[in-house]
Amino acid sequence: MLVTYSEAILGMGKDNGTRMTEDYWIMKLAGIFDRVRVGYVEFKKPDPTKEYSETENHLSDVQFCDHIADANVVTSKFNFSDDIHIPIIDIDVPIHSVPSTTPGHYHLYIDKQLTWQKYRFLLWALMQCGLVERGYYQASVKREMTVCRLPWVKKMPPKSLRDCQCELCLKGRRADQRGRS
């Protein structure tokens, strides 16, 4: 039986003597941890004379656990399918996620300089995976830059649905126009 992260935190999972994370991270990530597989990896002490290698860190030797209290890693593997993943990525530069005015949406700040060619490729890959809307990608390519509102600037509601530029309203207007022609 799988024990959810929330249940393990409340003491229903086995305790392996390791300290759990702070309450903030528990509450923030519990929904994700309940949907992905957790595991245990025995890490070797890194050899400073060698470059990073997955095999050096035993990342291919993950032993999946039923209880988060027994785990020391979280994986991208979705609990109910070996073919589905939830992106969990070790990023080696500072990042910040700022909530958008649209609930459940965020603006991602990655503190890393990229050429426009590399940045455009990153945007394209995010769009292909459904993490960035096609319209945002296209507008960014046209401008040759991305644009987000400042965190303290709120989105103004459209004057009417005719002025709304969201994808759903635009599709509806196009369908109406095709129906009239």
What pLDDT digit, counting tens, does each position of 78-111 carry? 988 889 999 999 899 999 999 888 888 899 999 9
pLDDT tops 60 at residue 142: yes
Task: Count CA within 13 A, CB hemisphere, residue 27.
Answer: 3
Q: How buried is residue 31: exposed, middle or buried, by Cβ count under 10 Å (0-12/13-18/19+)?
A: exposed
| Structure tokens, 117 | 């060619």
Distance, in Å, from the CA atom of 5 to the CA atom of 34, rounded to the nearest integer, reads: 6
DSSP letter at 86? -
State the pLDDT at residue 29.
73
The model's pTM is 0.64
Which range is least confidently modeled, 5-9, 78-82, 151-155, 156-160?
5-9
pLDDT tops 50 at residue 76: yes
State the pLDDT at residue 107.
94
- The residue extents of the domains of the chain are 5-78, 93-181
State the pLDDT at residue 15.
43
Cα 101-107-109 angle, rounded to 5 deg? 150
